[in-house]
Amino acid sequence: MKVASVIIDQDAKALDREFEYLIPDELELKEGERVMVPFGARVIQGFIVEIKDNSSFELTKLKSILRSVDGFPVIKKEMLALMKYMADKLFLKLASILRLFLPSEMRTGKVKELVERYVSLNQDVEIPKNAKKQAVIVEFLKQHGKVKFSEVSNEFGYAPLSALVKKGVVSVSYEERKRSVEFDKISGEKKALTPLQQRAVDTIKENKTYLLHGVTGSGKTEVYMNLIERELKNGKTALMLVPEISLTPQVLANFKARFGEEVALIHSGLSAGERFDEWRRIFFGEAKVVVGARSAIFTPLENLGIIIIDEEHEQSYISESNPRYDTHEIAEFRRKYNNSILVLGSATPSIESYAKALDGEYTLVEMPVRVNGMEMPKIVVVDMLNELRHGNSEIFSIPLLAELGSVVERKKQAMIFINRRGFSSFQRCRECGYVAKCRDCDVSLVYHHYENKLKCHYCGKRYKALDICPSCGSRNIKQGAIGTERVVEELKRFFPGVAIFRMDNDTTSTKGAHRSILSQFRETKPAILVGTQMIAKGHDFEDVILVGIVDADQSLYQSDYRSIERTFQLITQVSGRAGRSKDQGKVILQTYSPRHYVYHYAQNYDFKGFFKKEANLRKVTNFPPYTKVLRILFSHEDENIVAKEIKVCYNNVQKVKEKFIDDFIYLDVMKSPLNRIKTKYRYQILMRFKLAHAEEIEKELFACVDKKAKSSVFFEINPQNLS
C-alpha cells in the first residue's frame, strides 16, 4: 500500500506540516491532487504533496484518504517544487502557499458546479498502437459524441484523455455560457521593428535573466510581443506580468488583437467566475499566453518559454500582505525550472536590478531612444516658494497655467499628476495641529470630500468629518494635502467649459469605469485628465503634449530608504506620457525643494547618473542592495501576548547576531508605527545585515520563532514600508 503526505488546507500554525495517510488500493491518486481526509472527528480538504512507498509510522496507525476532490492533480509538479522552495526560503505556511496556486473559487467547494466540462472528438486521427487507452477513448467518443469529461476520465483514466486533449484530437467545451472579458477592439497589425528593437529581440534568447532598459516610448511592448511570438512558434508558452495599475484596456487589447484566443488575462477587474474561467483555460493548455498582474506568476502554464516582468521596478511586485513574496524571486525559480528566458523591462530599473546588471548577474539590453525618434519631453522645474514670494498661493504655478492655456487653445490634451502616496489628505486643526485618527488602528484618517467623511484606510471604519476641533474647539480646520477633486475644481475655475476628467481610486471603483474614463478622454479635445499614480504609466495618448506634476515632493520625504528612487521613477514615468507622437511634449514639475539632486537627474533623463549617485549613497549608508533589511512582525489581539512572544524571539535573534557579529549593522525591537490594525497589536524586530552570510542568517532567524507562538508572525525582506 502507498502512503501520501498531505498538507491540510487549514490556517492553524500547528497543522502546518505534512500528515501521512494511506492510499486505498481502489483510489488511483497522484501527487498534487486535492483529497478529502479524516482529521480528528472531521473530514477536511488537503493536498497530496508526495507519494511514498513507506512511512516512518506504523501503517496500521495511519488513516486512509477518503476520496479525490477533482479526479486529477490540480497542483502541477513545478508548483509542488515551488511550494518547497517558498516554504524554505520565505517562512510561509505550506497551506497558504498552495492557495496562491489556485483560484479562490476552488477552495469553497463550488468548483464542481463550475467544472462541468465536456469532451468531444475533434478530428479523426491514427492513434499510435501502444496508446491503447487513447484508442478506446477515441472509439467511445465516435459513438457517443459529446460526453462529460469526468465520465470519460473516470471510465478510461485521466492521463490518456488529457493526452488526447493536448494533441488536439479531443476538444474540451464547457456547459455554461462563457464569460468573456471586455476589451477595446483594435487591429493586431504587426509593426516593422526598429533596429534597436530588432537587436533586443535577437539578443534575448537564452536561459538567462535580461534587464531591458528602454526609455519611455522606446517600444518595449513590441519587443515583448515579438519574443512571445517566437516562443509560441517553438511550441512554448509565455507569461507577461504588468503592474495592476498599468493593466490598461489598451495593453489588454493589444495582446488580444495579436494573440487572439490564445491569451488569458488575469487582473483584479475580473469577477470570480471570469478569473476561474481564465485559470481553467491556462490549466488545460488552451491559453498559451498569460497577461496579468503579480499573482499571475503562479499560473500553471506548462512548457514555459519566456517570462516578462514589465515595469520591473514597480513596488506592486512585492506582496506585502499574506503571504509575502517577491515576484522576481518566483520568476527566477520558474525560469530555472523551465529553462526559459526571463526579461525584466523598465525605463527606470530599480537600483537593485540595475546593480545586478552591472555585476553581470543580469544581461543588460538597452534601448536609449524613442521609436519615432521624438525627443524626450522637456522638464521645467518650477520653484513653488518663489511663486509664493511673488504672491501666487494657488495650487498651480504661473508657468503651468500658461502651458495649460496654450494646450486648450491648440485643442490638445494635458495630464495633471497628483503625487499622492499613503494617507496625505488628512484633516488638521490649524490652531493646535490636531489630526483625527482611527480608534482601532492609530493611523490618520483620510478625508473624503465627496461624502464629507473621514475613513480609515486600514480597517475601513468611517467617521464624521471634523468641523470643530475636538481638542481646542477651533473651527479653523484644513485639509492636509491636495487631492484630485480639489485640483479638478480649481481647473474648472480657470478653464470653464473645458472637459476635465478625473481618475483615482474613487472614480474607478466600479467595473469598466477605468476603461470608460480613458476612452472618453481619448475622444475629447481639448481635455485635461487629472489623476494619481494610476495615470503614470502605460498610457499612450497621441495628443497629450503637456504633463503637470502638482507636488513632486510628496514622495520625497517619506521615512523610507527608497523614497528618492521612487520619486525619480515617478517623474520619469509621468513625463513619459507627454509628446509620444508628432508634437514635442513638455513637463511642468512643481516643487518646494528645486535644488534636490533627484530633480537634476530626472530633468536630464540621466538614469545612469542618478544610479551612480544613489547606489553610492546606499553603499555608504549600508542600505540595500548592499545589505538586507529584515523585519519580523508579530501581531495579536492581546498586547501582552505579542509583547511577551516577541521578546522571546528577540532574545534568540540576539544570539544570531552574536554569532554573525561582523555582519549585523542594526538590530532592535519595537512597537510598529501602526501599532494596531483591525484590533490587532503589532510589534516588530527590525534589523539590517550584510550580504556575505545572508542566507545562513535568514535560516537561523526562521528558527528563532517559537512554533507554538500564538501571534501571527511574518518575515519581510527589504519591505517597502515599515508602518
Enumerate binding residues for ligand ADP (CB under 6 A).
191-194, 197, 214, 216-222, 371, 540
Rounded to a whole number of angstroms, the minimum distance from the CB of residue 198 to ligand ADP is: 9
- Nearer Cβ to ligand ADP, position 195 or 497? 195
Residue 124 has a CB neighbour count (10 Å cut-off) of 9
The one-letter code for the residue type at 692 is A
N residues, the chain: 723
Rounded to a whole number of angstroms, the minimum distance from the CB of residue 381 to ligand ADP is: 23
Per the CB < 8 A criterion, the answer to whether 235 and 286 are in contact is no
Q: How far apart are CA 546 and CA 380, in angstroms?
A: 11
- Nearer Cβ to Zn ion, position 440 or 700? 440
User: Across the strands, what pairs with 210?
Assistant: 343, 363
Binding mask 456-495 for Zn ion (x = CB under 5 A): x-xx-x-------x-xx-x---------------------
Rounded to a whole number of angstroms, the minimum distance from the CB of residue 717 to Zn ion is: 27
Q: How far apart are CA 678 and CA 459, in angstroms?
A: 6
Question: Should residue 434 be labelled a site residue for Zn ion when binding is judged by CB under 5 A?
Answer: yes
Binds 247: which of ligand ADP, Zn ion, none (CB < 5-8 Å by kind): none
Per the CB < 8 A criterion, the answer to whether 421 and 512 are in contact is no
- Nearer Cβ to ligand ADP, position 197 or 635? 197
**Comparing C-alpha atoms, which of 522, 569, 513, 511 is closest to residue 544?**
522
Q: How far apart are CA 111 and CA 55, in angstroms?
A: 32
**Comparing C-alpha atoms, which of 663, 684, 665, 664 is closest to residue 673?**
684
Pinpoint the alpha helices (H) of 145-245. Answer: 149-156, 158-167, 195-203, 220-233
Residue 79 has a CB neighbour count (10 Å cut-off) of 21
Rounded to a whole number of angstroms, the minimum distance from the CB of residue 353 to ligand ADP is: 16
Per the CB < 8 A criterion, the answer to whether 101 and 49 are in contact is no
- Nearer Cβ to Zn ion, position 514 or 636? 636
Binds 221: which of Zn ion, ligand ADP, none (CB < 5-8 Å by kind): ligand ADP
Question: Should residue 123 be labelled a site residue for Zn ion when binding is judged by CB under 5 A?
Answer: no
Q: How far apart are CA 259 and CA 287, in angstroms?
A: 10
- Nearer Cβ to ligand ADP, position 250 or 532? 250
SS3 219: coil
Helix (H) or strand (E) holding 333: helix 327-338
Binds 434: which of Zn ion, ligand ADP, none (CB < 5-8 Å by kind): Zn ion
Binds 220: which of Zn ion, ligand ADP, none (CB < 5-8 Å by kind): ligand ADP
Binds 441: which of Zn ion, ligand ADP, none (CB < 5-8 Å by kind): Zn ion
Binds 540: which of Zn ion, ligand ADP, none (CB < 5-8 Å by kind): ligand ADP
Rounded to a whole number of angstroms, the minimum distance from the CB of residue 608 to ligand ADP is: 18
Binds 474: which of Zn ion, ligand ADP, none (CB < 5-8 Å by kind): Zn ion
Cell 476561474 found at: 276
Quick one: which of 286, 329, 440, 506 contacts Zn ion (CB under 5 A)? 440
Binding mask 574-593 for Zn ion (x = CB under 5 A): --------------------
Binds 432: which of Zn ion, ligand ADP, none (CB < 5-8 Å by kind): Zn ion
Please choose, out of 110-118, 220-228, 383-391, 430-438, the segment that lies near Zn ion by the rule CB under 5 A: 430-438
Per the CB < 8 A criterion, the answer to whether 123 and 78 are in contact is no
Rounded to a whole number of angstroms, the minimum distance from the CB of residue 253 to ligand ADP is: 12
Per the CB < 8 A criterion, the answer to whether 339 and 307 are in contact is no
Q: How far apart are CA 241 and CA 469, in angstroms?
A: 47
Rounded to a whole number of angstroms, the minimum distance from the CB of residue 621 to ligand ADP is: 32
User: Across the strands, what pairs with 342?
Assistant: 209, 307
Per the CB < 8 A criterion, the answer to whether 588 and 399 are in contact is yes
Binds 456: which of Zn ion, ligand ADP, none (CB < 5-8 Å by kind): Zn ion
Residues contributing to the site for Zn ion (CB under 5 A): 429, 431-432, 434, 438, 440-441, 456, 458-459, 461, 469, 471-472, 474
